[in-house]
Amino acid sequence: MEQEERALNIFNIAPGDKLERPAPAERRSHLRLWEYGALVMAGFVGWTLCSPILPIPPDKHLRAVTIALIETAIVAGLGCLAARRLDFAPTATRRRWAAGDAEAGLRTVMFAGIAAGVVSVGGTELVGTIIVKLLWSPAAAAAHASAKQAGREVVGLLKTHPLAVGVGFPIIEELHFRLLVVTALAWLAAKLMRGPAVWWTAIVIQALMFGAMHALSGESPLWWEPRSVQVMLDPRIVAGAVLGYAYWRWGVESSLIAHILTNLSVLLLALIRGH
């Protein structure tokens, strides 16, 4: 009985989804190998979709493909290794296959991804509006014309390369921030604490990193001083937290669906607003 309860906890399956018996070690190993291969292929697809907007010289495509494969294999490998150390299944597919209920798992992943996407977009817009009301500085915005231009270029990329921004980058960012960063941080936090605090600590830290990365790359729609405060208050922190929770609770498939919906919603909002 203890082994069955432990298996349910490992794969994050609801108490009502009972297993006949724990999955054999050989089966778990096979599922992990299949999971790793699928994540590597997903990352390669993401890099392929993003290639039209990456500065790759025409004679360097073969080298770029090789580098993309190696980088994706390393990121997915480290993420899966950290997950194994935590006895955690990063994909909903493996969790549900282990429970023998793949069809119900697919419905859960879809609904969770859609719900997380709605919360991500709504929360980011709400926090962005509040920050504008409290901290907006026209003088700071005027002083950072280069950052403003970078923001315009991002909106332009959204319009001209919707597949790259709407699908490609979400795949890459989910592998890096959720699969690798969240799982690795949780593994480190598990050395100091126990229980849900391990995952909440990892989610919050990677959300701050997620927002800071977008702010430092010039993608933030807001400008104020000091810049260090801007980096810490980028509205995408909300999206990072929501996506991190979706990954922990329902698997990387749900966080990926939510991320794609978030980016496509940003594209739609940019087209509606006209800037």
pLDDT, one tens digit per residue, over 129-184 is 777 667 666 665 555 555 555 556 666 666 677 788 889 999 999 999 999 999 99
Chain Cα centroid distance, residue 20: 33
**Dihedrals phi, psi of 116, to nearest 5 degrees:** -65, -35
**The total number of structural domains that make up the chain:** 1
Residue 127 is part of which domain span? 2-273
Quick check: 91 and 39 in contact, CB under 8 A? yes
Burial of 57 (0-12, 13-18, 19+ CB in 10 A): exposed
* Radius of gyration of the chain measured on its C-alpha atoms: 20
pLDDT of residue 214: 79
> Taking the model in full, what pTM does it have?
0.80
Residues 6+ apart with CB under 8 A from 197: 189
pLDDT, one tens digit per residue, over 41-68 is 999 999 989 888 877 777 777 888 888 8
The answer on pLDDT for 24 being more than 50 is yes
Q: Which helix (H) or strand (E) holds 136?
A: none
Largest Cα–Cα separation, the chain: 65
pLDDT of residue 27: 61
